[in-house]
Amino acid sequence: MKLLREFLSWLWPIVLGLAVAGGMMLVVQRVRVDGPSMQPNLQNNERVWVLKHAKIHRGSVVVFDAQGVDPQATTKTNYVKRVIGVPGDTVRVKDGQLYVNNKRVKQSYISKYQRTTGTGNWDLASISVKNGWTVNNGATKVPAGQYFVMGDHRSVSNDSRYWGFVPRQKIMGVVKLMPWTGNATTRYNINKFWQHYFE
């Protein structure tokens, strides 16, 4: 009996630890940023936490599986991008200024160069036709259950401008930076910018 009690006292912390770890995996996941498209706020190879059940807002940074969304992603590939438009939104850019539902978006999280270089003037209908979206070609609004996303470094980002909207079921969750990662500015730009989306 004493041997059984000793065995259980050794086994119980392990079982509890595995249960906690398993539960955490249902709520959060660690993901690696691949490429420069989210600079200056996230860097290539940076590891970030993803909250799987967090609410998605305009301005949230999300991780999604691009397979079946971006035609170039032929296998499961995680993309990290910022949500620009939610279902029902109109989106357009004029002279480097971003407008959602005809309201100017605050873009203090990126430089003027990142806002304007290579972006041009467009709205959803014009870029869907120009870039040959295979789904929702000619759309004027973000469809129900889908999101329009872009990288922060617009001139190097492969995003919704080129292949269209991201279905909700493809989104793994919302990126959060921990207090010990990045700096105060990047933590704000990733974690809280969505609260001050419009100018």
Would you please indicate which residues are annotated as catalytic (active-site) residues? 37, 81
CA torsion 20→177→170→161, rounded to 10°? 180
Nearest to 117 by CA among 157, 145, 65: 157
Q: How many Å separate Cα 100 from the centre of its chain?
A: 17
CA separation for the pair 78, 63 (Å, rounded): 6
Burial of 87 by CB count in 10 Å (0-12 exposed, 13-18 middle, 19+ buried)?
middle
3-class DSSP state of 183: coil
CA separation for the pair 51, 29 (Å, rounded): 7
DSSP state of 18: H
CA separation for the pair 59, 37 (Å, rounded): 15
